[in-house]
Amino acid sequence: KNVPIPAYGMPNIRIQDNGRQLVIISAQLLDSGDYSCQANNAAGDDRLQFNVVVMVPPEIESGPTEIAEIVNSRTVLQCETSGQPTPTVTWSKDQKPFPATGLRHRMLPSGSLEFMIVRLEDDGVYKCTASNPAGNASQTIEFKVQIPAKILNKGQTAIRVSEGQPLLLTCEVEGSPKPTIYWLKYRQYVETDARMKVMENGSLYIAKSDRGDSG
């Protein structure tokens, strides 16, 4: 704006060497702009112009480093950046480059990564990297995709066993994280003991059936 810079009174600017040097101490973003040096005498004048761009290294706004979402949901992995010039954002998944756009995901203008429909294969460790000529910054996010618990063997539910015989009730399940299996009888939790116990695979084993086990 052709505003004269005074030789004194500006704490971060020094004019040295009889006006031949202008020194900006600890340059800030606001110091960016066009500067000109003008010389004149009785015979005429001349001018030299400089364009100063103060660069600021990228910063990534602190956000969650671990996210869990249910399959088929929508989610956003945050990567809000700042810097000058505007940083370029790239993503990687499990230490391999991850494309900015795909059938079910896209990178937002802010740099964050949006998943429109989450699938199990989206599970992994993601890293966003923001770069500009002044430097770079990165942030890692662990993305865990969850699958609701589902019981698979719903076909056979009526079981007959002779009194005194062993009985094994199986409950095949799937889900992520691995579901915890509970057994109930008449809406009350089954209490395990030496005769009745829950196996490692979740099956209920009754060593010696009696009439009280009916239900």
Do domains 57-147 and 152-213 share one topology? The answer is: yes
The reported pLDDT for the residue numbered 105 is 96
The model's pLDDT over 77-92, given as tens digits with 9 standing for 90+, comes to 999 999 999 999 999 9
Q: 152-213 in CATH: which number?
A: 2.60.40.10
What CATH superfamily classification does 57-147 receive?
A: Immunoglobulins (2.60.40.10)
Task: Write down the domain spans for the chain.
Answer: 13-54, 57-147, 152-213
Residue 203's Cβ-count burial label (10 Å; 0-12, 13-18, 19+) is middle
The reported pLDDT for the residue numbered 3 is 64
Contact status, residue 33 vs residue 54, Cβ threshold 8 Å: no
The model's pLDDT over 183-213, given as tens digits with 9 standing for 90+, comes to 888 888 888 887 888 888 888 888 887 877 6
Cα–Cα distance, 10 to 109 (Å, whole number)? 38
Cα–Cα distance, 40 to 19 (Å, whole number)? 12
The model's pLDDT over 113-162, given as tens digits with 9 standing for 90+, comes to 999 999 999 999 999 999 999 999 999 999 999 999 988 887 667 778 77
